[in-house]
Amino acid sequence: MSLSATIAILVVVGLVLFVAARWMRSRSQTEIEQEEARARVQVLVRTVNPRNTLRDAIAADRSAQAALADPEPPSAPNGLNLSRYRFRSTTLEAGPLDPEDFYDELLIDLVDPETGQLWQNSLHVATPRGLERTMRAEQWDTVIGGELLIVLRYDLATILDGAATHLEEIYEAKVDVSSATGKLLANDGRSPS
């Protein structure tokens, strides 16, 4: 066998071994990540309270999404401050024209007092009637997601309490709503929903 044929065979064998090693490494990493995700979801599913199944299922979905998110959201074990909030379309002071027909996005600015880090979360807030109206208008057959807060009627205190509970679950830290300053921000100039 000639030297060039031997070199060619060695190069092919080397490439095959290289590709096989990369494939095995990526597959094992993917399998590990999938197994960890399955274990987290199983733990979350076990925590669902049958008396409050929808809320717990949504919370479990949010927790699973947060656990799998990359990068991990900031965490502040000593608490977070809600610095300001507003709806995308609805003026907070006036609220919607019909408190039982409401759908809008709530934008929430949080601050970690230890680091000064500021970031924004958003949460869609709806009443059953407002959600139905929006689904019909947008021609949606389904709504999926953990970032949806459903209230019986527009009540800012109830909405902020629900939002704070949601954020506490995500960041595993107490959220201080009373620290909000300048919270009644003007909307984008759009009419209330």
pLDDT along the chain (193 residues), means of 10: 80 75 65 62 44 52 53 55 89 91 93 88 94 94 88 93 88 77 43 40
Q: Answer yes or no: is 73 within a domain.
A: no
Q: Are residues 107 and 157 in the same domain?
A: yes
pTM equals 0.55
Strands (E), the chain: 80-87, 103-111, 118-126, 148-150, 175-176
Q: Are residues 163 and 103 in the same domain?
A: yes
Token digits for 113? 């007092």
What is the pLDDT at residue 17?
75
Q: Answer yes or no: is 51 within a domain.
A: yes
Residues 80, 45, 161, 70, CA torsion sign:
positive
Distance CA 150, CA 125 (A): 6
Q: Are residues 96 and 158 in the same domain?
A: yes
What is the pLDDT at residue 7?
84
Number of domains within the chain: 2
| Segments forming the whole domain that contains residue 86 | 80-176
Q: Answer yes or no: is 37 within a domain.
A: yes
What is the pLDDT at residue 104?
95
Q: Answer yes or no: is 185 within a domain.
A: no
Q: End of a domain among 68, 97, 112? A: 68
Q: Answer yes or no: is 30 within a domain.
A: yes
